[in-house]
Amino acid sequence: MKIADRLKNFEGYGCGPREEGIHLDKNETPFGLPNDIKDDIFEELRETQLNRYPPLIPETLEKKIADYVGCSTEKISVGNGSDALLPLLFELFDADQVVLNPTTFSMYSFYAKRKGLEINEIPLDENFVIPSYLDVLEKRSIICICSPNNPTGNRQPRDQIIEALESENIVILDEAYVEFSRESNIDLIEKYDNLIVLRTLSKAFGLAGLRIGYCVGSVEMMEYLNKIRSPFSQDILSIKIAERLFEYTEMIENNVKKIVDERDRIFKRFKDHAYPSQSNFILIDLDAYEYLRDRGIHVRKMGGRLEGMIRVTVGKEEENDELISELERFIEGSKR
């Protein structure tokens, strides 16, 4: 028997090698940690015992996160990036289907398929807004809502989110980009025990390389989640660095302001082609993926309903200058 005959057929996520050039394709922050902060962090890491396991639950980090979002520590659970919490949440609840709103973050579908869950796709409307769920939820559901939505960049209306919660189904609200939006729905945790809010340190905090995310929910929900987590889920170095970064929230806020200012500058230059964004990226209705790639600028090529569009991560000012120049040349050349 060949082992290949026993393998399940599954379409993976996949990614290729990182090419040289300007990378505006992964929604990363363009700002790394300053050297003085790195030196401060590395000095503490010298005293970290790498021969010992990390804590079963990173309570110090969870306390810092709780202070940051304004809730009790018991309502926080940390994971290896917010998307890695998804399969645990899908496993936690007894549900018949996962409800998705394409076009949205692809990992919801990825993990739902891995868990063998039925997927019910209810597309966003023409303005990329989530629909009414009340007439379509005949089954016990887990509803995934991304706000601001990736890849369209828009916030979802609070009333629609509340309507989903009032259906008494489980709602996973992904707020990975909330720092660029300034408007959160995390306060709804206090009223609805069927709500889980996903957050990450990969975007505004600039720690994509460490893979630290967290979710916020009721105390009971977090207790059950901790029961199904594998022990020592986060490595000690990531925990230590993340803990220290909460001492530099003023720097993070300044970086967010720079990104928002640059985002708005790009949008104004291409407002006839771009969609308004409350995130650190912009969806642009220009089929310029290959054109930009050939010039060393890497953006995300969209497909499906967004075929012919690109998603552009906001970079540093000089990177954005180059992007703007090349897109203007592309538009001018398309007119000929």
Segment 260-268 long-range contacts (CB within 8 Å, at least 24 positions apart): 260/180, 262/314, 262/315, 262/316, 262/317, 262/320, 263/180, 263/314, 265/320, 266/312, 266/314, 266/320, 266/323, 266/324
Alpha carbons 283 and 23: distance in angstroms, whole number? 16
Q: How confident is the model at residue 45 (pLDDT cuts 50, 70, 90)?
A: confident
Among 182, 226, 186, CA closest to 71: 186
pLDDT for 10: 59
pLDDT band at 82 (very low <50, low <70, confident <90, very high): confident
Q: What is the pLDDT of residue 84?
A: 86
CA distances (Å), 332 to each of 106, 300, 321, 325, 335, in order?
33, 21, 17, 11, 5
Please count the residues of the chain: 336
pLDDT at position 256 is 97
% of the chain surpassing 70 pLDDT: 94
Judge whether 23 lies within some domain: yes
With a threshold of 0.85, does the pTM exceed it?
yes
Tell me the pLDDT tens digit for each residue of 219-243.
Answer: 999 999 999 988 888 899 999 999 9
Quick check: is 293 in a domain? yes
Q: Which residues of 186-223 are buried (b: 16+ CB within 10 A; e: fewer)?
A: bebbeebebbbbbbbbbbbbbbbebbbbbbbbbeebbe
Q: Which single residue is written with the structure tokens 């929604």?
A: 27
Same domain? 197 vs 229: yes
Residue 97 host element (H or E): strand 97-100
Judgement on whether residues 255 and 242 belong to the same structural domain of the protein: no
My answer on whether 171 and 289 are in the same domain is no
Residue scoring higher pLDDT (18 or 288) = 288
Contact 215, 82 (CB under 8 A): yes
Residue 139 lies in a domain: yes
Q: What is the pLDDT of residues 268-284, one digit of tens each?
A: 999 999 999 999 999 99
What is residue 139's predicted lDDT score, i.e. its pLDDT?
Answer: 81
Is 44 within a domain? no
Please say which residue of 200, 221, 246 terminates a domain.
246
| Strand pairing report for 170-174 and 141-146 | parallel
Number of domains, the chain:
2
More confident residue, 70 or 56: 70
Q: Does 13 score more than 60 pLDDT?
A: no
Q: Which domain holds residue 306?
A: 3-33+250-334
* pLDDT band at residue 83 under the 50/70/90 scheme: confident
